[in-house]
Amino acid sequence: MKEFSIVGKDVPRTDAEAKARGSALYTDDIRLPGTLHGRILRSPIAHGIIKNIDTSKALKLPGVKCVLTAEDTPKVKYGNWRLFPETQDEYPLAVDKVRFIGDEVAAVAAIDRDTAEEALDLIEVEYEELPAVFDVASSIAQGAPVIHEYCPSNISVNRKIKYGDIEKGFAESDYVREDTFKFQAISHAYLEPCSALAQVDLDGRITLWTSTQTPYIVQCLLASTLGMRENDIRIIKPYVGGGFGGKMELRTWEFCAALMAKKTGRPVKFTLDRQEEFLAGRRRHPMTIRSKVGFKKDGTLVSKDLRIQLDGGAYNAMGPTATFLCGNFGAMLYRYPNYRFLGEHIYTNKPPASAMRGFGAPQSLYASEVQMNIAAEELGIDPVDIRLKNAQVSGDKIPDVATISSCGFSESIQAVAEMSGWREKRKSLKPGQGIGIGCYSFISGGVFNWFNTQYPFSAAEVRVFSDGTAHLLTMASDIGQGSDTALKQILAEELGLRMEDIRLTTADTAMTPQGDLGTWGSRVTLMAGNAVIDAARKIKQQLFGAVSARFNLNVIHDIECKNGRVQATARHDYGMSFGDAVAMVQKANRGEPLVARGSYTPRGKGLVTPAFGFGAQIAEIEVDKETGLVKVKNMWTAHDCGTVINPRSVEGQLAGSIQMGLGYALSEQMIMDGGKTLSLDFADYKMPTAMDMPPSEVVHVDTFEPEGPMGAKETGEGLASPTAPAISEAVYHATGYRCKDLPITPEKILNATRDKAE
């Protein structure tokens, strides 16, 4: 392994001190003189035609400055899949029809929030209610109400994958099983409610501060929905209080803030409240997964037939990508010689589901991991051994996807089994106690260009100065995961500077280089990291030229940037300070500043991802047999994220993933009554607390990803998947209850164990 001086070290996060002091500004913290406050009127019905909207009373309320309905807008549809315009199915404000409880119908801006809210009550909307559907089966049944006119089947996207011959595979299998799994919706539950603040400058251009993961996507879609030019819109991402996939689209409040700012000439701010976030916010897809797998007697996988229906809710949102990826996650972890996938994205009259940490992987991998555990038991093989037998290894080719470059999966399985005392505990635990394993594989960013950008996927600009400092500009968006720190570490390492020598400007579409597709799919470290290195190397070439000329170096000399110097690697005295080298280059170029652009767009990596992360996790739990309550006592994880850029951050990502996985497995669900979300606050949406978190141990398996920056690849998103199947297997081990419909509630455990006893 290569030795680094800053990469791989526990460097404190660059934003930590500001956040610890409370001085880091999030969107709602920004104050502009004269700001108006906006609120959104939402549909109270799940499906209906808007017959009439009367805003006259609201407009008359003192303090109200602007009321918007679709009639005041250009009525342009948007969606993230620009490559397939027919999938763009959403208007910023409902046109003619509402499709879920919470659908945005109108907006008010007033001198304060209370007045705006009061005005919402004065808007009179006349609806003609239509029959509605709340599950995929009813939605695709004969004669079901059509939710979008363009899509009479209610199946908005389908994706097929096929290789090998599954029927032949099943015929050759010794053991074939088929299971159906069902998944609940859960909330991203980022702590910072969505917020946007728009300002119009003197020549009519818009600046929008917004809590987003994808400034570039917001810029483009805001331009198209407002009928403006992209360059007339500037998106700034302030500090963001978490996203997890829930903040990666254009949202109504961003559009309304911008349009209202234009109409009133005053800044307009929208901040959602938590109830709205739960009522209408994006969520993880409910799914039905039917999976048929065939094995040889010795546990070798032969064939898999996977059918997934995603309950997309009322709009596509990021559902098409989730549909696409579910099929890949279905065959990413193990070698499946014969594989078929059919994924369907189905509309229902519920709040739209979208991307959420894992992007289809938590569901898809839960199904495949639970099936591995069942198969292991029925074939009489240890769950660890059946995985080792089928695990992908470096050099394996996933048909139609890519050849896996680095892969520490088998090492992860072995490491986690050892550190947890798996083989001993599997045999010796007391009744009511259990231990279980779950694994994952995940992408390091996506290749398929659904947004149809003409820019590089990630870009960076590096400016260096004669005082020995550098300025890194990139549109990469830190939403709390720590990418600002990681990118700074990468640049500091590459240029031989210290963290404090680097100034950072990020996520401002008018100031940072185009483009960047945003923070999702674990793409930032690999893609933006590569762009930073690309820019840094261009700078270094020029610095090396200057040093070489200054010392008249033999052409065979290697030159390096290290410890604030640019020097011959073998003769440090043939060198000078970083700043002096910059000055020399500038002088040789008639004073031109030394600046370089770098970029990254995957090449020759198929259509899915440039690199894969892997890992394995083991959970030890205890079940109260009378109440059915599960206590998770320990978690062990071994994973392969390539080079670890910042160990503390990676461990933080891991613990956060466990928290989310724990909730997904045991307690979190959006409870619905038809189209109405009932869990509307944190008292009823049961996210794990500090008391619920188990201790956790981790091993980073040492690999080097050739496609990644300094060998790094994804971490933190893949880790959202193994926790639920590991806990599920542990619950089975403890009680004999095998859960195929998350979450694993105490009641399900009790019912199952009672049935067994009877």
Partner 1 sequence: MKHNIRIVVNGDEYCLAVDPWKTLNEVIREDLNLTGTKLGCGTGDCGACAVIVDGKAVSSCLTLAVSVDGKSIKTVEGLAPSGEELHPIQESFVETGAIQCGFCTSGMEMAAFHLLSNNPSPTDLEIRKGLSGHLCRCTGYNQIVEAISLAANKMQGCHCKKEES
Partner 2 sequence: MRLPRFEYFAPKTLEASLELLGQKGDGAFVMAGGTDMMVKMSHGRLKPRTIINLKEIPELHYIKFNPQNGLEIGSTALLSEVLNHADIIEHYPALIQAVQTMANIEVRNMATLAGNLCNAAPSADSAPPLMVMDAEVSLVSSRAKRKVKLMDFFLGPGATVKNVDEIMTAITLPAPRPQTGASYMRISARCGVDIAAAGVGVAIRLESEVLAEARIVLGAVAPVPLRAVKAEAALVGRQFDPETVQYAAQMASEEASPISDVRATRDYRKSMVAVLAKRAISEAYERSHARHS
Touching partner 2, residues 627-646 (CB under 8 A):
627, 629
**What is the Cα–Cα distance from 368 to 383, expressed in whole angstroms?**
13
Binds partner 2 by CB under 8 A, chosen from 55, 679, 703, 735: 679
57-116 residues in contact with partner 2 (CB under 8 A) are 113-114
- Tokens representing 194 are 């969505």
Write each residue from 224 to 253 as x if it is in contact with partner 1 (CB under 8 A), else as -, in one continuous string.
Answer: ---------------xxxx-x---------
Tokens of 226: 């407002």
31 binds, among partner 2, partner 1, none (CB under 5 to 8 A by kind): partner 1
- Count the helices and strands in the chain (H runs, E runs): 19, 32
25 lies in the binding site for partner 1 (CB under 8 A): yes
Stretch touching partner 2 by CB under 8 A, among 167-175, 440-448, 545-553, 675-683: 675-683
757 binds partner 1 (CB under 8 A): no
Q: Are 678 and 187 in contact (CB under 8 A)?
A: no
Q: Which of 93, 460, 750, 752 binds partner 2 (CB under 8 A)?
A: 750
User: Is the Cβ of residue 37 or residue 345 nearer to partner 2 in the bound state?
Assistant: 37
Cβ proximity to partner 1, 238 vs 436, nearer residue: 238
Scanning 21-29, 405-413, 619-627, 726-734 for contacts with partner 1 by CB under 8 A, the matching segment is 21-29
Which runs of consecutive H residues, i.e. helices, occur in 227-317?
Answer: 252-264, 274-280
Binding site partner of 750, from partner 2, partner 1, none, Cβ cut-off 5-8 A by kind: partner 2
Q: Which partner from the list partner 1, partner 2, none does 471 bind, CB cut-off 5 to 8 Å by kind?
A: none
Which lies closer to partner 1 via its Cβ, residue 410 or residue 477?
Answer: 477
User: Helix-strand-coil percent breakdown of the chain, rounded to 5?
Assistant: 30, 25, 40
Complex with partner 2: residue 274 or 538, whichever CB lies closer: 274
Query: If contact means CB under 5 to 8 A according to the sort of partner, which of partner 2, partner 1, none does residue 659 touch?
Result: partner 1
Q: Which of residues 258-277 bind partner 1 (CB under 8 A)?
A: 273-275
Q: Could you give the CA distance from residue 527 to residue 596 in angstroms, rounded to a whole number?
A: 17
Contacts of 48 (CB under 8 A, 6+ apart): 97, 98, 127, 128, 129, 130
Beta carbons within 8 Å of 158's beta carbon, 6+ residues apart: 323, 342, 343, 344, 345
479 binds partner 1 (CB under 8 A): yes
Helix 524-551 with 483-495: angle, nearest 10 deg: 20
Shortest reach from residue 627's CB to partner 2, in Å: 6
- Site membership for partner 2, residue 755 (CB under 8 A): no
Considering only 53, 94, 189, 470, the residue that binds partner 1 (CB under 8 A) is 189
Give the nearer residue to partner 1 in terms of CB position, either 294 or 482: 482
Tokens in use for 214? 């994808």
Choose, by CB under 8 A, the member of 281, 286, 436, 480 that binds partner 1: 480
Binding test (CB under 8 A) with partner 1, winner from 155, 429, 655, 671? 655
Residue environment code for 598-630, b if the CB has 16+ CB neighbours within 10 A, otherwise e: bbbbbeebbebbbbbbbbbbbbbbbbeeeebeb
Per CB under 8 A, the segment of 299-307, 374-382, 574-582, 648-656 that binds partner 1 is 648-656
Residue 511 interacting with partner 1 (CB under 8 A) = no
Number of residues that bind partner 2 (CB under 8 A): 27
Largest CA distance in the chain: 89
Q: What's the CA angle centered on 422, arms 634 and 438, to 5 degrees? A: 70
Using CB under 8 A as the binding rule, whether residue 671 contacts partner 2 is answered as: yes
CB-based contacts of 287, cutoff 8 Å, min separation 6 = 181, 182, 183, 308, 309, 310, 311, 326, 363
Considering the rule CB under 8 A, would residue 696 count as an interface residue with partner 1?
yes
- Amino acid sitting at position 285: H
Q: Residue 178: which of 300, 325, 288, 306 has the closest Cα?
A: 306
Binding segment (CB under 8 A) for partner 2, from list 214-222, 572-580, 626-634, 652-660: 626-634
Nearest to 639 by CA among 310, 408, 431, 308: 408
Q: Cis peptide leading into 694, omega within 30 of 0?
A: no
Which one of residues 143, 683, 757, 758 is an interface residue with partner 1 (CB under 8 A)? 683
**Between 373 and 659, CB nearer to partner 1:** 659
What is the helix (H) or strand (E) element at residue 471, kind and residue range? strand 470-474
For partner 1, give the closer residue by CB, 81 or 209. 209
- Work out whether strand 195-200 and strand 268-271 pair parallel, antiparallel, or are unpaired: antiparallel
The reply to whether 195 sits near partner 2 by the rule CB under 8 A is no
As a whole number of angstroms, the distance between CA 94 and CA 536 comes to 47
Q: Which of partner 2, partner 1, none is residue 678 near (CB under 5 to 8 Å by kind)?
A: partner 2
Of positions 686, 697, 738, 753, contacts partner 2 by CB under 8 A: 686
CB under 8 A: which stretch of 116-124, 224-232, 316-324, 689-697 binds partner 1? 689-697
Query: Which residues have CB under 8 Å from 694's CB, separation 6+?
Result: 619, 632, 633, 634, 635, 658, 662
Identify which of residues 24 and 419 has a Cβ nearer to partner 1 in the complex.
24
Phi, psi of 271 (to 5 degrees): -130, 125
Residue 722 lies near partner 1 (rule: CB under 8 A)? no
If contact means CB under 5 to 8 A according to the sort of partner, which of partner 1, partner 2, none does residue 454 touch? none
Nearer to partner 1, 464 or 528 (CB): 528
Answer with the entry of partner 2, partner 1, none that 437 interacts with (C-beta below 5 to 8 A by kind).
Answer: none
Q: Kindly state whether residue 542 participates in binding partner 1, applying the rule CB under 8 A.
A: no
Contacts (CB under 8 A) with partner 2, residues 208-237: none
C-alpha to C-alpha distances, 405 to 146, 395, 614, 679, nearest whole angstrom: 45, 6, 12, 43
CB nearer partner 1, residue 294 or residue 362: 362
Of the pair 312, 358, the CB lying nearest partner 1 is at: 358
- The residue (of 201 and 747) whose beta carbon lies closer to partner 2 is 747
Paired with 343 in beta bridges are 159, 308
Rg from Cα positions in the chain: 27
> 175, 455, 551, 682: which one contacts partner 2 (CB under 8 A)?
682
| Residue number with CB closer to partner 2 (511 or 678) | 678
Site size with partner 1, rule: CB under 8 A: 56
Q: Which of 117, 135, 385, 400 binds partner 2 (CB under 8 A)?
A: 117
* Backbone φ and ψ of 478, nearest 5°: -80, 120
> Which of 575, 462, 469, 558 lies closest to 512, judged by CA?
462
State in angstroms the smallest separation of the CB of 625 from partner 2. Answer: 10
Closest CB to partner 2 among 64 and 611?
Answer: 64
| Residue 465 in tokens | 């100065």
Give CA angle at 79 (86, 478), nearest 5°.
Answer: 150
- Nearest residue to 538 (alpha-carbon basis) of 555, 561, 522, 510: 561
Find which of partner 1, partner 2, none residue 747 binds, CB within 5 to 8 Å per kind. Answer: partner 2
Q: What is the DSSP string of 379-435?
A: HT--HHHHHHHHB--TT-EETTTEE--S--HHHHHHHHHHHHTHHHHHHHPPTTEEE
Q: CB under 8 A: which stretch of 2-10, 281-289, 312-320, 677-685 binds partner 2?
A: 677-685
* Contact footprint for partner 1 (CB under 8 A): 10, 12-13, 15-17, 19-26, 28-29, 31, 188-193, 239-242, 244, 273-275, 479-482, 648-649, 651-652, 654-660, 681-683, 687, 689-691, 693, 695-696
Residues interacting with partner 2, by CB under 8 A? 113-114, 117-118, 273, 275, 626-627, 629, 666-667, 671, 678-679, 682-684, 686, 688-692, 745-747, 750
